[in-house]
Amino acid sequence: MNFVGKTLRTGVAAALLLAGNTTGAQGDIGDAGSSFGSPGTDLMRIRAVVVCTGCTLEEVQKVQPSFDLYQLRHRQGNLVLYVRWLSNSTRWHRVVWPPQLWVRGEEHLLQRLTAEANLRVEMAIEGTLSNTRTLDITGITLSG
């Protein structure tokens, strides 16, 4: 009887010790989305350079192979984007495969994105990325 009691007390003490030493962890839980916005969308911040407009990803990769090239399609055509930095690269790489996605936004934002004068100029793009591989652009800031 003494042995059973001692074993029980040791087991309870070990369980309490382990429960007290655990730390909370927060991680990516799939496509659940963020705590704001509609489910399955996340705010993205991207630093990128438009390599060309009216071209395809395949054409650019023949000349300049890179894993950081993405083809964006919009209602006026295509463009290829070289991505230098992503605020949420885990979500981006999970959603954007193959490296092609649709892009939407107000007309002035799409014009800024595709303007000939902005080719090869680093820009910061903000928007939401949905599970349907659509980037809804909400802002574009040109660097320098």
Q: Give the per-residue pLDDT at 120.
A: 95
> Quick one: CA dihedral 103, 107, 109, 115, positive or negative?
positive
What pTM does this model have?
Answer: 0.70
Q: Give the per-residue pLDDT at 17.
A: 40
Query: At residue 118, what are phi and psi to the nearest 5 degrees?
Result: -100, 5
Q: Give the per-residue pLDDT at 66.
A: 87
**Where are the chain's structural domains?**
41-142
pLDDT in tens, the chain (144 residues): 555 455 545 554 444 344 444 333 333 333 344 434 445 568 999 999 999 999 999 999 999 888 899 999 998 899 999 999 999 999 999 999 999 999 999 999 999 999 999 999 999 999 999 999 999 999 999 986
